[in-house]
A and B are shown apart, each in its own frame.
Chain A
Amino acid sequence: MKKGVLKRAMAVLALLSASALAESNGESMRLNLTKGVTDISQQVYDLHMTIFMICVVIGVVVFGAMFISMYLHRKSRGAKPANFHESTKVEIVWTVIPFLILIGIAIPAAKTLIAMEDPSNPDVTVLVTGSQWKWHYKYMDNDVEYYSVLATQPEQIHNKFEKQQNYLLEVDRPLVIPTGQKVRFLITSDDVIHSWWMPAFAVKKDANPGFINEAWTRVNEPGIYRGQCAELCGKDHGFMPIVVIAKEPADYQNWVDEQAEIQRKAKEEEQKLLAMNMSMEELMENGQKVYQSTCAACHQGNGEGLPGIFPALKNSPVATGDVKHHIDVVVHGVSGTAMQAFGKQLSLKDLASVITYERNAWGNSTGETVQAKDVNAVIKGQ
């Protein structure tokens, strides 16, 4: 009788695990910590499993004793209470044994920790700067730097479009690093505290404003790896993912050279732009696009801001007052507020159009256009 029940239970369990396995072929979630793609992340995974198994064993022993007692020493089974209430011997034993177990865990943990905290002699150094709510990467050995922003469409977030595969884990410009080389991350922040977390590398380091932190990795396999900001950093904390592409060193070198070339050309283009004047329509059209992707998160699409948190631009003294001041605020940001310096993030053309847009949208009818050369004048201090 009992055997039959057991068999049936086993069958159910087998079925459940089979369906779980079947699901894991699809889009289902990994249940355990990732092993990652670096030696360190593998060590971390092993540590995690060791300590987990130790906990399971202790749990089985302690809860086992408890459940046996609950079964055997029930009053309803006629158990008579014993009267012992201390035993120095037993108490010493169960103080000493945990101590020994802890020492057993501490030694490998310390070894891994020492290996993690040695960022010396890097092959590549990247300065990672967090700001509300994007990451900025700067390659210290090349003239390459850029912002990396969430690429998921707002329509997906607001359930208007269907959510795509890498929902909330995709960025416009991922960080690219070489495989097999020691990559050092210098991590800091422009505003509040963020935390740069890449599970596959077992790297998580806080970005503290005004201070730099270090971490490093050596990735074994090329691939695309995804992570997220791991420290509450305000409204859009959940919307600043991290994507890293690891490439073979040769591919990486090509990529770096290409980027340096692109960034150089972009600067040249900008110089040419200084001589040109864009029409109001062009500026407004481009400005609206830039505004929606860059400014609307805080100042809102309708320019009304979030009262008490982010100021409105509609009828605001900045957006309807002195042009130069308006450009200054957008280009350099306002210290001590969430208003960032967009001079480093947007091209002259985008800056000019977004400022024009802000001065002429939502009933802000200054009728003024701002051109690339006006913005450049503020940046250069002319």
Chain B
Amino acid sequence: MSSAAEQVHHDEHHDHHAPSGIKRWLYTTNHKDIGTLYLWFAFIMFLTGGAMAMVIRAELFEPGLQIVEPNFFNQMTTVHGLIMVFGAVMPAFTGLANWMVPMMIGAPDMALPRMNNWSFWILPFAFLILLSSLFLEGGGPNFGWTFYAPLSTTYSNDSTALFVFSVHIMGASSIMGAINVIVTIFNMRAPGMTFMKMPLFVWTWLITAFLLIAVMPVLAGAVTMVLTDKFFGTSFFNAAGGGDPVMFQHIFWFFGHPEVYIMILPAFGIISQIVPTFARKPLFGYASMVYATASIALLSFIVWAHHMFTTGMPLFAEMFFMIATMLISVPTGVKVFNWVATMWRGSLTFEVPMMFALAFIVLFTIGGFSGLMLAITPVDFQYHDTYFVVAHFHYVLVTGAIFSIMAAAYYWLPKWTGKMYDVTLAKWHFWCSLISVNLLFFPMHFVGLAGMPRRIPDYSLQFADFNKWISIGGFAFGLSQLIFLALLIKACKKQGEPVSARVWEGAEGLEWEVPSPAPYHTFETPPVVK
């Protein structure tokens, strides 16, 4: 830490070599540049996937078919899901990891900088392929992001090959990103930075990275089987050839359930960084947070079939998956209790990152409650594949994962740019998002309980009033994100008040020891952690 001045000197030295313009971004191996690229890419994808959600909500604004045909509607729901999962949430987390993990553990860069460059730059091509398939004859993938066979095999159109190819590339990118994170954390911690001293964001990402390398290859296997079933005459999922369509769901959800935790564990890490800062009090139960994260990750491998209760499983399997799923709520509950205990008798202030973090805690917990309800097999028969499920996973993914990403952006943005962002805009963004997101997703619970199935382009008249409100909430939430865009553009132009190295009064950790904005190269001489 004594080397801050030295670093500034180093930066100037290094910056002389850096190419400028587009080449800087194409050739960069700097973790901060790549982090920025990931974050912008994720934001662009978030807006793209969001635009598709707007199409969906516009069609569902009132009963009847008005704007799009059912086949296009199905393409919208499918590609919206794929883009939000693989294009928005996961790259955003990878971007945050790229920026923050080296700075939080006192490493000069990611362990494998060239692979880092590659793992980012293949992503835009994956999504270009996926999006271009929408313009082919017959359209893009229309079988839901879960691509259940045989709808995605025998009964899909030829653009499925492009879908498979793009999922392969996304998977390769995630796997490379995960390997990089693990190697960095294992081998490049500053002296004295033991595992149990690592900030929780680093811990949760380490566990997430292990989940990624464990399950992304399984997804790759699943899409490969879909490809060979469709084009090369194998019968993995075709009953006529001795296969079983339900096996597809087992393989998919063996990937799919850990994937859910891939999208929420880093969020837990972010919230665990932010809450102590603005409570001015150390995180309550650090060790139990780490163990809770690890046990959630382990349990995530034995609950996959709770997505498939209606496929006709025998009683003992239904019981097993019900109980295992309910068990996950225990470590998840521990996390929420720990955050509240961290706030308890702290000295709280409510800056924008804290506002998002608090909204996260409440709204994610609501998503957790509906998750617990969904775990109860006999009741799941009623909830399954209705809007109740849609409400559930949007509460955990939008007000969960995405709110945490926004909290992280507001928390670390001053460190990245060296300037405080426009707080008024940020507050507008928060309140508009908070109100509209609840108008968007909360009524979905009721619509689902009343019996509206998901993935339908048209519905019976009883659901009309609620769907109108949901759509209005959807449009408002979509527009609210433009405030965020304006704020980010202003921030990138380096407008605003300069900030100190620590930025937030209660902030603790190595990333706050380096000056703001964080120099191009940090910790070339490793700091010593006591």
Contacts and interface: CB of A to CB of B under 8 A. Distances in A.
12 contacts: A29-B466, A33-B449, A44-B379, A62-B365, A79-B347, A81-B279, A85-B281, A86-B287, A167-B460, A195-B385, A211-B239, A228-B453
B377 A158 contact: no
A158 B348 contact: no
Given A163-B63, A239-B458, A62 B337 contact: yes
Contacts of A191: 150, 154-155
A333 to B, nearest CB: 13
B148 interface: yes
Interface string B362-395: 1001100100110011110110111000000000
Contacts of A228: 451, 453, 456
B458 A168 contact: yes
Interface string B329-356: 1100110110011111111111000000
A33 B382 contact: yes
A29, A192, A308: most-surrounded residue (chain B CB, <10 A): A29
Interface stretch (B115-123, B310-318, B483-491): B310-318
B70 interface: yes
A61 to B, nearest CB: 10
A117 B157 CA distance: 37
Contacts of B287: 86
Interface string A256-295: 0000000000000000000000000000000000000000
Given A114-B315, A211-B239, A75 B450 contact: no
B421 interface: no
A109 interface: yes
A98 B449 contact: no
Q: Which bucket holds chain A's interface residue count?
A: 35 or more
A308 B347 contact: no
A73 B348 contact: yes
Contacts of A227: 451
Interface of B: 63-66, 70-71, 74, 136-139, 142-144, 148, 150-151, 154-155, 157-159, 239-240, 244-246, 279-288, 310-312, 314-315, 318-319, 322-323, 326-327, 329-330, 333-334, 336-337, 340-350, 358, 361-362, 365-366, 369, 372-373, 376-379, 381-382, 384-386, 446-447, 449-451, 453-463, 465-466
B151 A193 contact: yes
A79 B345 contact: yes
Interface in A356-381: none
B372 A55 contact: yes
Contacts of A28: 462, 465
B450 A306 contact: no
B348 to A, nearest CB: 5
Given A192-B151, A231-B385, 10 more contacts: A31-B450, A48-B382, A73-B348, A81-B280, A113-B322, A193-B151, A229-B453, A232-B143, A232-B151, A237-B455
For the complex of A and B, list the 7 residue pairs with the smallest distance between their C-beta atoms, beginning with the closest. A308-B138, A210-B239, A238-B456, A213-B312, A308-B137, A55-B369, A82-B345
A110 B319 contact: yes
Contacts of A192: 148, 150-151, 154-155
Interface of A: 27-34, 43-44, 47-48, 51-52, 55, 58-59, 62-63, 65-66, 69-70, 73-76, 79-87, 90-91, 94-95, 98-99, 102, 105-106, 109-110, 112-114, 116-117, 132, 156-159, 163, 165-169, 187, 191-193, 195, 197, 199, 202-206, 208-211, 213-214, 227-239, 306-309, 335-338
B376 A47 contact: yes
Given A43-B378, A237-B455, A69 B282 contact: no
A280 B378 CA distance: 56
Nearest to B463: A29
A95 B465 contact: no
B378 A47 contact: yes
Contacts of A308: 136-139, 157-159
Given A112-B378, A199-B382, A238 B459 contact: yes
Contact of A195 (B310, B329, B361): B310
Contact of B65 (A65, A158, A166): A158
B280 A157 contact: no
A34 B451 contact: yes
Contact of B281 (A82, A306, A336): A82
Contacts of B282: 83, 85
Given A27-B461, A44-B378, A116-B378, A70 B358 contact: yes
B369 A106 contact: no
B458 A306 contact: no
Contact of A73 (B157, B347, B447): B347
A27 B369 contact: no
Contacts of B376: 47-48, 51, 105, 109
Given A31-B446, A91-B288, A193-B245, A98 B330 contact: yes
A30, A44, A199, A206: most-surrounded residue (chain B CB, <10 A): A206
A113 B74 contact: no
